[in-house]
Amino acid sequence: MILRSIFAAALLAPSAFSTPSLTTIQDVLYKADGTRFSGTLLIRWRSFEASDSSAIAMQSITTQVINGALRVQLVPTANSVPAATYIVTYNSTGKIQFQEAWSVPQSSTPVRVRDVRIGTSMGTIGVAGAGIAGLVTGPIEESDVNGLVVDLGARPVKGPGFAAGRAAVVSDTGTLESATGDPSDCVRVDGSSGPCGGGSGVGQISFIDSEVLAGIVDGSNTQFGLSTIPSPSSSVAIYRNGLLQKAAQDYTLTGQNVHFVADATPQPGDTLLGSYRISGSSTITSPQVLCAANGGSTGAVAFTSLGSCVIPSALLETGDRVEVRLDFEHQGTASGFTFALHWGASTVLQRDGVASDNRIAVKADAGLHASGAQWSLQSWGPVLAFNAGFATATDDYVAGLTVDIVGKLLASGDTLVLRSYSVVRVP
């Protein structure tokens, strides 16, 4: 009696080994010129569970299409778990023509390709994982694209000094920064900027481009000359037949004389060109604006650069005077603030403003002498008492330096703005 009951229950229960239902895809395929398509279809899929609970393992099949006739039976995926698609690759004349994705519905009658197609792509599709990615319906992660993370890591990135609408320079750390200075300044190959000079003024910079080196090119002569002494010497670029020569390896420079090493001796027919900078030597009589701009703002409690002026090497000389003008605005009444003026590595002015100070003015003049600069300073505000004082700095201005204006709040909540600043050289 018990055996008969078990046998009857087994007859009534679905068989774990029953064949899953199939949908027939049947169609006639044509090419764009009206001829019938002949080739193969490679159909691939990931593992999924059909709607009748059949477990479908990841696999692929290939079906022949002869004279356009396509007929293939597939397990429906419209209600599968997880949602699944078939990736169909069309091959003809030995080449992959294109790929498309199919979503097969449950149907007792044959369906056409248009009834199952959910997307196509021209040419081949890169497949990830086990090779059955199909059409991607969500965002693609960077790590899923071969080589993308490495390529992104190799590209230059924006540095903290990057700003729109400015010439870009590459910093010592390889980041992209924005050139500082006046909009009319020239940007040099080392990233510094300064007034564009024609060689007529003291400290102004002239650019000598593609000068033909003096000397006989006979295969034995190694001594050649430039028309004047480069300043700085590091600005020299020597080209032989258009190829940049490396200092100390291909040649040495002494004053305006270029000496090639024996292994790099110029040969008959070679072209030798030099490009470099020089400092002017004539006296100028009018003030020279080195930098003039609107500054930045900060709400931080740590010192932040609000404006800077990069003074290139060989621009300033002994006897020059540099005038700096600053105008600050303090927005809010919750916090006091601190502002400072840096001349190279020296802090020549630093003062604290109270919460009720909404405007600050600064005038600073530096007289340059052989061993540095002597500063006279004035600063005041509506509440901040007028203060006049002196400071000294021993920074090497001939080698170039940066004038930096910094500020910070004593507590968060307010904003300190550098409304404008100027750095002027007075001969």
The DSSP bridge partners found for residue 347 are 342
pLDDT value at residue 128: 34
Alpha carbon of residue 24 to chain centroid: 53
> What token pair was written down for 184?
């009319």
Identify the H or E element spanning 357: none
pLDDT on residue 207: 80
CB 295 within 8 A of CB 403: no
* pLDDT at site 193: 74
Give 229-249 pLDDT, tens digit per residue. 888 888 899 999 999 999 999
Q: What's the pLDDT score for residue 313?
A: 79
pTM: 0.39
Delineate the domains of the chain, giving CATH numbers in brackets: 17-142 (2.60.40), 205-279 (no CATH), 288-426 (2.60.120.200)
Task: Report pLDDT for 17.
Answer: 59
Residues 6 or more apart in contact with residue 59 via CB below 8 angstroms: 44, 45
Instruction: Please give the full DSSP string across 97-130, using - where no structure is assigned.
Output: EEEEEE-PPP-SS-B-HHHHEEEEEES-----TT
Q: Which residues of the chain have pLDDT under 50?
A: 2-3, 5-15, 122-138, 198-203, 281-284
- State the pLDDT at residue 188: 77
**What pLDDT is attached to residue 6?**
46
- In the chain, the amino acid numbered 92 is S
Task: Summarize pLDDT for 325-376 with one digit per residue, the tens.
Answer: 999 999 999 999 999 999 999 999 999 999 999 999 999 999 999 999 999 9
Query: Which residues sit opposite 69 in a β-bridge?
Result: 28, 66
Query: What was the pLDDT predicted at 24?
Result: 95
Return the pLDDT at 203.
47
Whole-number pLDDT of residue 130? 33
pLDDT recorded at residue 119: 67
Among the listed residues 257, 258, 284, the one whose alpha carbon sits nearest the alpha carbon of residue 201: 284
Which two structure tokens, joined as six digits, stand for 321?
């005077």
